[in-house]
Chains A and B, each alone.
Chain A
């Protein structure tokens, strides 16, 4: 076998001199080298040919390559930006940064919401209530069989057909109109910042107390209660701090002025449609993952944990979930990646994510290769980061074997 000849240990054990490479087709090592040289050569030739053509075409069209265009003034109007952006002064580089942030904005919020909704639906499918199980199954089946793009277009039309701001639907101080959703915003004051700080302190304190409780349990077998301490540190402490500062609570309420609202926070119809579509679509897939993950834990585990006298919350937390998560996490990672990649469909409904802005950029400047390279680099970076994080998490919860 080819392995034996290539394996240096065998050669050493036999104390025979390393066999010389014969220039013959019947030598597997020689064959392997020839195959690789041929295939790599072919690929290199094709790439070289394409690069040659591209250079000629670019020269013929007088397009300069390189990323110099990033420093030029963009002039792309952008509806929503997380960082200050002015089309008249800011550069393409800045516009692309806005696009990246918009992509992250929809991806991060979408991942969190899709996980919550998907988990609820996945558990619903396992419900002993027949109606609930059938309804959630219907949800999963239908949503998975309709192209996401169609769903996005549908949601976008629905949001656009809402009444104009003057006749907007009002729920409390939340206004729903074809200009998007307007919500009251908390007016930030020092008290809130101190309260947030107190919450962080409380969080750290709870984690420390939890560790202490674990040590105590190992030493004495009795676990001190954690939740009262957590409640006191993470809820009561911030509330007390907030009250000390006079408990300020004022909201900036959106007000109708002329044809649109002023003040308050807002979600644009494009963002909301994209988020709604992504979350409902991905949740259908996540529901299936959660369901199969929970079903993968044998019934005997519940019974055995119960026989040990664990309370049902403990059974779920200490026995079922750790085992279910092992099945759930790897496919969940790929759903998160899918959601992030699917957020590029934003371009179809006019939400300005990285794909949309890079596309406008390459249309304006003619820098097609650089534009596509930017898109690919951004997504590869995001994908790799999610993969790395989820792999780290997966390794943490993985079964420790020998």
Chain B
């Protein structure tokens, strides 16, 4: 304690001698953090060598020897001979230039692709607004409903003079964002109900909720998706045909609901019992108690794990590739099925990975910052 006071006072600091030159500056830092022992020195040297080799190799592949564009023949087909020659030496980014619209927006009508582009921006805007604590009010739900409605109008069209585009033509990044966002928007209320049900005193309801959560969490997402794509048509009355995208969306909601329910339950359990007892003592009904006392506190506790779960679902949307839905990853594979470009999968995968990393990294960074913020508030 006295140390910090002493250094904070300017007079003392001036009076004190400067530390020896060997203890400050970059050299001292390197000695402490890179060469503190012979063992540490060996690790540093090996790693420097490996990192330099990898970095030089990557820069040469991705930039120095890369092919940025290829000539097109009279039929408008790309001539990828240059790229074939450079294979293994340099990246062929020309495939991205040729296919980025297909990868991002799928088979959406080419002239109308500004619509999914705006939808992507709207989605990102929605995430940013939801992330700001200033907007953590009841109105946020209205913002969500309004934005999702606008996105629906933009994607489907058919009103306000917009050309109608059925779901079969949707694809790429909008599908990924739709699956993730609509999935969360519907799974979240479901999960709150299920989590409450699992902690309920009513045995039948508790049993139903436990069965639902454990069954879904015990099986892989793929089997739930398969179930949606294969068994769902059997469940419906004859003649009713539910769209593939909607079926996958329902599967996602059911799947996400079970996982989110466990996260919410964690929050409910972490809340001191006194809160609930105090609410009972005030004579509040169950729903008043839950809505006004329990949930506002419990949900606040679990926001960081909720964001982490959301990151997981964002990545999991790529699984719809297996049931043949055209999300971002599937469109990458579709782009690769074009004969001239068939052997340039690494380039496409790198770009797709960067897109996914951008979204997930932003979310995880945010979740960590939030966790520290909330912890600080609680520590006081």
Residues in A lying within 8 Å of B, measured CB to CB: 1-2, 32, 35-36, 39-40, 43, 50, 53-54, 56-58, 60, 127-132, 135, 141-142, 144-150, 153-154, 157-158, 161, 341-342, 344-345, 347-348, 355, 359, 362, 368-369, 371-372, 375-376, 379-380, 383-384
Contacts and interface: CB of A to CB of B under 8 A. Distances in A.
Interface in B234-275: 234-238
A194 B353 CA distance: 51
A383 B329 CA distance: 28
Interface in B348-372: 349, 352-353, 356-357, 360-361, 364
Q: Tell me the interface secondary structure of chain B in the complex.
A: helix
Interface string B223-240: 100110011011111100
A383 B218 contact: yes
B161 interface: no
A372 B33 CA distance: 54
A154 B361 CA distance: 20
6 contacts: A129-B34, A145-B315, A146-B353, A150-B349, A368-B230, A369-B231
B280 interface: yes
Nearest to A369: B231
Contacts of B238: 53, 56-57, 60
B64 interface: no
Contacts of A58: 234
Q: Tell me the interface secondary structure of chain A in the complex.
A: helix
A281 to B, nearest CB: 10
Q: Considering residues B34, B219, B343, B361, which has the most beta carbons from chain A within 10 angstroms of its beta carbon?
A: B219
Contacts of B230: 362, 368, 371-372
A345 B349 CA distance: 17
Interface of B: 33-34, 36, 40, 43-44, 47-48, 51, 201-205, 208, 215, 218-223, 226-227, 230-231, 233-238, 280, 311, 315-316, 318-319, 321-322, 329, 333, 343, 345-346, 349, 352-353, 356-357, 360-361, 364
A93 B221 CA distance: 24
B231 A375 contact: no
B321 A348 contact: yes
Given A131-B44, A348-B321, A146 B356 contact: yes
B204 A147 contact: no
Given A39-B205, A145-B361, A150 B219 contact: no
Nearest to B223: A375
Nearest to B333: A153
A365 B43 CA distance: 57
A161 B18 CA distance: 60
A146 B220 contact: no
Contacts of A347: 222, 322
Q: Considering residues B36, B43, B280, which has the most beta carbons from chain A within 10 angstroms of its beta carbon?
A: B43
A36 B219 contact: no
Contact of A145 (B201, B322, B346, B360): B360
A157 B220 contact: no
Contact of A43 (B34, B208, B321): B208
A60 B219 CA distance: 30
Nearest to A132: B43
B235 A53 contact: yes
